[in-house]
Structure 1
Amino acid sequence: MLLGLALALALAIALSAVLPLLATAPAQHWWQTAPYGDRLTVHARVADGEASTGVRTRDGAVEAYDVGSGRARWTYAREGRRALRLLAAPGHTLTLWSDGLVTDTAPGGVRWHRAVPATARWLGTARARGGAGVLRPLDRAARMLAVVTPHRIAAYRTADGDLRWTLPAREGCVFEPARSLRRDGVLLIAQPCRAGAAARTAWTSQMVAVDGLGRITPRRTPLGNELPGARPDRTADRAR
């Protein structure tokens, strides 16, 4: 009986030592077990009022750094993947990766991931120009993000990564992300067509105009992009 009591006491002591470690394990190992191979390393904490932070790619990773000193503040990498293009927005950074994944990263961690279908192989070709023009903001504060690939444009609300609308390319045509231009809040994107399709398509159709609400067409009635529970955006539609 005494032996049984001694074993029970030893087990209780062992559990009291192990349980605190188990409680902290998810926080310590979250990045190692993330399904996208995320690795976030914080080099220096940023206090309120400190100098501004810039972002850049370095050795295939995303690096945030102090603009004045160049000192790294945090680094975000993904196993076996390279960061191709960055889009800096207030308080966070959007990244296009070599496998076609788009991520939104803030100093506290990754806010969301979105996979862009059938993109990885195209990104590895010379035609993709290293992902030039794929990430395009649809407003000044980058509250809406356009991901432009040859066969479709997808627009995401950056606050939560919600897919708001998609626009496929016309049959026989493709979008060219690198051939795009922002003008007065409108994103113009080239949509060249094959010879046969071009003969049946007006030249004006070989370019599309979009904004945060989708393709700009006369008398459109698009849905808004506000977060659930937020007051509707009363901004007038810019369709012409």
Structure 2
Amino acid sequence: MGTISLEKRDSLFWLGRYTERVYTTLKAFYNYYDQMIDRQADAYKNLCERLDIPNIYQSETDFIHRFLFDKDDPNSIFTSLNRSYDNGIILRNEITSDSLAYIQMSLDIYAASSHSDVPTMALLPVQDYLLAFWASIDDNVLDQRCRSIIKCGRYLERLDLFLRLSFPTADIERALCKMTPRLRQSGIAYDEEVLDFLYAHVRESMLHTPGWRRECARSLMTLITE
């Protein structure tokens, strides 16, 4: 690939972010779903707060259906998956039809699961398809910078969600270390001081109050400068 236009670079970056958002948010949803069926009906409110999304849901049942399947909810997992597909369509020549097919299969699973009595079970293959999508990206996308932009988006999203959802420090540091070389190879403008701040706080997390994750999540929002 020659020069990557700003529009295409944006699509590559957000393809990475949205696919990771679907994968990691589904994983988090399953944990909170277990809490809800264990009679912690308000657990979904905690998830909304951690993800910094408005609690527009009337009940746990309303949350389960709308957060998973509502195409009109901008924060639903289904919306993120559709946005992944929209970016993938634009990038079909770069990522290949084989890679795009895994997102399409995920959408097919979503369509078939929306009326399931046990949607969490019906949606399990989506995570497998997204892992296959990433393997296909590694195998089929030959341009290193193109791969780096996609993976920069992927690992930045993972880092953001791991911070917001209070994943273990080791997982957060691993996501940060995976993101950094991809960010530097991507050609995307970023703030080196913010990156240094993140490394310092993650690696010295034991010295900080429990709010260090939220502080890092706020700083991460300012990392990309374009």
TM over 0.5: no
> When you count helix as a share of all residues, which structure comes out higher?
2
Identify the structure with bigger relative contact order (alpha carbons < 8 Å, sequence gap 6+). 2
> When you count strand as a share of all residues, which structure comes out higher?
1
Structure with greater Cα Rg: 1
